[in-house]
Homo-oligomer: A and B are copies of this chain.
Amino acid sequence: MSASQFSTKQRLLGAAEALFAQHGFAGASLRQVTAAANVNLAAVNYHFGSKDNLIEAVFRRRLDALNARRHAALAKVESKPGATLEDALEAFIRPALELALDRHGGAAFMRMLARAYAEHDERLRRFLSDNYGHVLREFAVVFHRMLPHLVKEELYWRLDIVAGALTYTMADFGLIKRRAGTSETAHREYTVEHLVGFAAAGLRAP
């Protein structure tokens, strides 16, 4: 009785992602997760060691790719001579929005990420900072160059807030159906432009 083309590990990650998005990390129990994945309860601790490790694995599965794409997009922006703040923000936002609109659980992951932001959990923050902080620091350097009027401390908490607001917004965008008559790519382009302007306004303020 496996009833799926995916391995136990993959099914666990998928079910955990969906249930963490819906009920939170504390609210979704391992029994719910393993039942949704059609897997024995003990499989979580066998494959991941603990619930906390499962949570981290769910993040890793998506964030490794997301940060790689953000890093590559930022590198391309930096190689361009006349790069603007909007270009850098697009390098930050577009990969995330594409992930949010991904049909295979992307929306669920984005809602989960938004919850993680809202939770301000110390353990989770350290995990994210340790594993993906270096890419955020690359962006901070570029933003700092483009916004010389901001002292570093001010820039950092603005980035923190803007990133959180963006994540929250993208999580909700994933829930919303596209307006009828709008193609997928047109919708995405419109949304990217919208969010970039939104974020730029927040960062450029005096």
Chain A interface (Cβ < 8 Å from any Cβ of B): 22-24, 26-27, 111, 114-115, 117-120, 154, 157, 160-161, 164-165, 168-169, 171-173, 176, 179, 194, 197-198, 201-202, 205
**Is B179's CB under 8 angstroms from A160's CB?**
no
Secondary structure at the A interface, as helix, strand, loop or mixed, is helix
Tell whether, in the assembled complex, residue A111 and residue B115 are in contact, meaning their CB atoms are under 8 Å apart. Answer: no
A179: B residues at CB distance < 8 A = 154
A-B contacts, 18 of them at CB < 8 A, read A23-B26, A24-B27, A26-B26, A115-B118, A115-B119, A117-B168, A118-B171, A157-B176, A160-B172, A161-B172, A164-B172, A165-B165, A194-B202, A194-B205, A197-B201, A197-B205, A198-B198, A198-B201
**Whole-angstrom distance between the alpha carbons of A139 and B203 in the complex?**
28
5 A-B pairs besides A24-B119, A118-B119, A197-B205 with CB distance below 8 A are A23-B26, A24-B24, A115-B119, A117-B118, A118-B171
Nearest chain-B residue to A191 (Cβ)?
A: B205
Q: Which residues of B sit under 8 angstroms from A202, Cβ to Cβ?
A: 194, 198
In the bound assembly, the distance between CA atoms of A169 and B205 in angstroms comes to 15
Bound Cα distance A120, B110 (Å): 13
Residues of the B chain whose Cβ atoms lie less than 8 Å from the Cβ of A164: 168-169, 172
Closest beta carbon of chain B to A106's beta carbon, Å: 16
Give chain B nearest CB distance to A197 CB in angstroms: 6
Bound-state Cα–Cα, A189 to B94, Å: 32
B165 touches A169 (CB 8 A): yes
Q: How far is the CA of A198 from the CA of B203 in the complex (A)?
A: 11
